[in-house]
């Protein structure tokens, strides 16, 4: 399999790794491999880095099988064998739980349980880092979703330490646009099996992606959104909301 990538692609990944200190000597790094295009692409990139980086780290792919019909586990195993990357498949019954009785927020519940299954495996086997394949479009979408659905300014962090488990989540693809990943997957004729999840495409994230497609295709607008995600002294936001009783007392001073 061709594992050579244009230098403009690897440079963006190396930039993220260097800027946010994502990979260090001695790391035991697991890749959260769903079988989708993003994690598949990340697997190839990190395989290259494993062979050519000056950092010495252990690499292993971990796939959580939610238990839906038409599992992608066989295809994932074949792909990892081609790259000579060790793979652990964690079989679960997440599908049964989120589909029974029309559970609310099935996508967030599924993500929560899948992450929990991986973290549990990492803790038992001495891994200290977990790589997810989130890209730049994911980060901007999360930023917009945070504003619309929770009224907060938050986005995906390039790295995040989970103090309750001792595992650090890293996102090496955070500077790459989604269309670049799609092109690289297509160029190598890698077949990505469609998710068998009945909720695929019906999440809040999917809706944001549809609603803002035109903005994401406008390079200047997209760049402005990226700039807005950065910590900065140039923010001109409202003050923090005052405690109700204090505000009520202040309001009374304005009446006779």
Residues placed in the known binding site for ATP: 32-34, 38, 64, 133, 138
Q: Do residues 165 and 123 make contact, with C-beta atoms less than 8 angstroms apart?
A: yes
Comparing CA positions, the residue from 170, 210, 207, 196 lying closest to residue 110 is 196
Residue closest to 159 by CA, chosen among 30, 29, 12, 16 = 16
- Nearest to residue 49, comparing CAs of 12, 88, 14, 87? 14
113 CB neighbour count, 10 Å cutoff: 17
Token pair belonging to 19: 């800027």
Among residues 82, 90, 12, the alpha carbon closest in space to that of 47 is found at 82
CA 106/CA 91 separation, integer angstroms: 18
Asked if 166 and 123 count as a contact pair (C-beta separation under 8 A), the reply is yes
Binding residues: 32-34, 38, 64, 133, 138
Closest to 175 in 3D by CA, of 1, 17, 5, 7? 17
Q: What is the DSSP string of 168-209?
A: EEE-TTTTS-HHHHHHHHHHTT---PPP--TTTT-SHHHHHH
Q: What is the DSSP letter of 67?
A: -
């Amino acid at each position: 399999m061709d594992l050579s990538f244009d230098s403009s692609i690897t440079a963006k990944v190396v930039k993220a790794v260097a800027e946010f200190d994502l990979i260090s000597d001695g790391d035991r790094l697991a890749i959260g491999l769903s079988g989708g295009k993003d994690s598949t692409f990340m697997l190839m990139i990190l395989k290259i880095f494993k062979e050519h980086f000056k950092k010495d780290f252990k690499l292993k792919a971990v796939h959580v099988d939610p238990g839906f019909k038409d599992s992608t586990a066989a295809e994932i195993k074949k792909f990892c064998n081609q790259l000579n990357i060790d793979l652990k498949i964690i079989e679960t019954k997440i599908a049964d739980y989120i589909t029974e009785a029309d559970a609310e927020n099935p996508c967030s519940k599924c993500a929560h349980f899948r992450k929990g299954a991986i973290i549990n495996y990492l803790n038992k086997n001495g891994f200290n880092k977990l790589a997810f394949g989130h890209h730049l479009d994911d980060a901007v979408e999360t930023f917009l979703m945070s504003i619309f659905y929770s009224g907060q300014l938050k986005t995906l962090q390039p790295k995040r330490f989970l103090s309750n488990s001792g595992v650090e989540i890293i996102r090496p693809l955070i500077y790459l646009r989604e269309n670049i990943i799609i092109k690289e997957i297509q160029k190598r004729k890698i077949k990505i099996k469609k998710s068998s999840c009945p909720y695929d495409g019906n999440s809040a994230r999917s809706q944001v992606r549809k609603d803002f497609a035109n903005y994401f295709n406008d390079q200047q607008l997209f760049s402005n959104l990226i700039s807005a995600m950065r910590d900065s002294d140039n923010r001109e936001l409202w003050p923090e909301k005052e405690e109700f009783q204090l505000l009520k007392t202040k309001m009374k001073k304005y009446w006779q």
